Amino acid sequence: MTVIFSKKCEYGLQAVLYLSAIEPGQIVSSDEIAKKLGIPKEFVSKILQSLTESGIVSSKKGKAGGFSLAKEPGKIRLIDIVAAIDGLGIFNSCVLGFPQCSPDHPCPLHEKWGKLRTEAYEMLTGETLDELRGKTMKKMKSL
C-alpha cells in the first residue's frame, strides 16, 4: 500500500493536534484521546511517551494525570512531530530508491519530485499549531 506517514506518525499528529485544541493548562488522559480518536489506548500512550522524550508533549503521572503540550503551540510545527516519530529521511532520500544515485544521473522523476517534496516540507513547516488552532478545534468538536 502507498503510505505517506506511518500509523505511528498519523496517530502522533492526531494526538498532538488534539492536545492543541484543549484549554491551555488542561490535561487529558491517554484514555480520552484514544477514545475520541479511535486509536488503541496503549498505542497512543506509547507514542505520546516518545513525544515526551522529544520535548513536544509533557506528561503528568498519577491520578488525574495525563498529557499536554510541553511548549506554547506557537512553537510547535507539524514537522517537529513527523521528525520525532518518522524522522526526516523522506525529505532527503529518493522516491524510487534507486541504488547508487548521484546528481549526475538523475532519474526521470528527480526534478519534479524534488519540487513536490519541498512543498510538502513547507506545508509541514509553515504553520504552527497555534495558527492551525481554529480549524483544529472545529475538527475535534466533530469527533
Partner DNA sequence: ACAAAATCAGATTTTTTTATCTGATTAAAG
Partner DNA sequence: CTTTAATCAGATAAAAAAATCTGATTTTGT
Residues that bind a second copy (CB under 8 A): 1-7, 9-11, 13-14, 17, 37-38, 78, 82, 86-87, 89-90, 95-100, 102, 104-109, 112-113, 116, 119-120, 123, 127, 132, 135-136, 138-139, 141-143
Residue 110 found at the interface with ligand SF4 (CB under 6 A): yes
Distance of alpha carbon 54 from alpha carbon 17, whole angstroms: 16
- Strand-pairing partners, residue 60, are 66
Question: Could you tell me the smallest distance in angstroms from the CB atom of residue 73 to DNA?
Answer: 20
Distance of alpha carbon 112 from alpha carbon 69, whole angstroms: 36
Rounded to 5°, angle at Cα 138 from 136 and 142 = 115
Residue 83 found at the interface with DNA (CB under 7 A): no
Question: Could you tell me the smallest distance in angstroms from the CB atom of residue 113 to ligand SF4?
Answer: 5
From ligand SF4, a second copy, DNA, none, which one binds at residue 35 (CB under 5 to 8 Å depending on kind)? none
Picking from 56, 109, 115, 108, the residue whose alpha carbon sits closest to that of residue 91 is 115
Residue 124 found at the interface with DNA (CB under 7 A): no
Which residue's C-alpha cell is 526521470? 108
Distance of alpha carbon 132 from alpha carbon 24, whole angstroms: 15
Distance of alpha carbon 2 from alpha carbon 90, whole angstroms: 14
Residue 68 found at the interface with DNA (CB under 7 A): no
Our CB check for a second copy shows the closer of 62 and 102 to be: 102
By the criterion CB under 7 A, which residues form the site for DNA?
1, 3, 6-8, 11, 29-31, 39-40, 42-43, 45-46, 48-49, 52, 59-67
